[in-house]
Amino acid sequence: MNESHQIIPIDPLPCLLSADDEALRYFVRRDLLTESVEPIWSLWDLPTASEIVRKQQTDGSWRYPGKVCDSFTNYSLLETFKNLRVLVEMYGFNNTHPALQAAADYIYSCQTDAGDIRGILGNQYMPYYHGAIMELIIKAGCQEDAHVKEGMEWLLSVQQSDGGWLIPAQAIPVREKTEKMWRGKPITVERSQPSSHLATGMVLRAFAAHPGYRHLDQVRRTGELMKSRFFQPDRYNDRKSPQYWLKFQYPFWWPNLLTVLDSLSMLDFPATDVEIQTGLDWFIKNQEQDGLWPTSYDKGRKAGPARMWVGLAICQVFKRFFGCL
């Protein structure tokens, strides 16, 4: 690890500050330069955020714009998750905004008596989406809500014995994944089965975001597990290849090296940890000449702006671990 005061070889700030995106520059100034900034609600009326809010349905959800491929998936829940990612992570929406509270209420309407949010996988358990949705609600200031507590406790109740999580449907042969299965009684798996880092990485984000849960021993074990899996293939077929560790997107969705380091940076793991050093060193060694990083998503009109946001997220991780860039 570079021991000089400047941890990252090329200063990324000039590139980030040159962005046309007012919201991105706001978080650069607030989180990286620690400048005094306007209240977060100054971002809520920006065009993209306003357009997303305008499309919100009266029940608090968003309507899925694509082709509906089956009748057992709650596409409105999936679309609500997608839009919350943008509103919370890129525009700082919190539960003082009516759109955010309405979205939270819609999500709670998809929560079962057991505490899990259900619907994207039919009637089957979905701890990975459940965790990612919990993360967003927590970041929006709903961490004290009883629904959130129920959701977090449900996650702990289905944790595998190795410290991670598994999507139960992952353990089912493809030939058995029929509509009857998706609509049927939720599948349970033995706690002794190995976890999936696809599921575990998304669940860990919820615990890292929650100040009342992030220091639990169970969560510490999850962090230990995930950092031991860097650059390894998943144990199950979904996003199995090691290349997925290096496919970065923002706002976060699937787990990768950046999302896991982001979680670990909030769980009191030190930068001196050998496995964390290995992850951080990848970013140090793979910085590009403009100060940003490759994302593995380099096509389409959104690729350039997304690379800026990924760069911000990487810098936020380094700032948490080292106190500087």
Tens-digit pLDDT profile for residues 3-15: 445 799 999 999 9
What is the structure's pLDDT at 2?
A: 39
Same domain, 277 and 287: yes
202 with 322, same domain: the answer is: no
Indicate the number of domains in the chain.
Answer: 2
Assigned token pair, 141:
């200031």
Whether residue 229 is found in the same domain as residue 269 = no
Domain with 68 in it: 40-240
- Asked if residue 318 and residue 274 are part of one domain, the reply reads yes
Say yes or no: 316 and 292 in one domain: yes
Question: Model's pTM, two decimal places?
Answer: 0.95
- Of 200, 221, 240, which closes a domain? 240
Residues 174 and 26 in one domain: no
Q: Do both 77 and 211 map to the same domain?
A: yes
Residues of the chain predicted below pLDDT 50 = 1-4
Nearest to 131 by CA among 49, 64, 200, 84: 200
Residue 5: per-residue pLDDT: 55
On whether both 96 and 230 belong to a single domain, the answer is: yes
Q: At what angle do helices 127-137 and 197-209 cross, to 10 degrees?
A: 20
Shared domain for 8 and 134, answered yes or no, is: no
Bridge partner residues of 62 (DSSP): 56
Contact 32, 325 (CB under 8 A): yes
Distances (CA, A) of 78 to 86, 110, 214, 248: 13, 11, 26, 20
End residue of a domain, out of 181, 215, 240: 240
Length of the chain: 325
Single-letter amino acid code for the residue at 247: K
Residue where a domain terminates, one of 240, 261, 287: 240
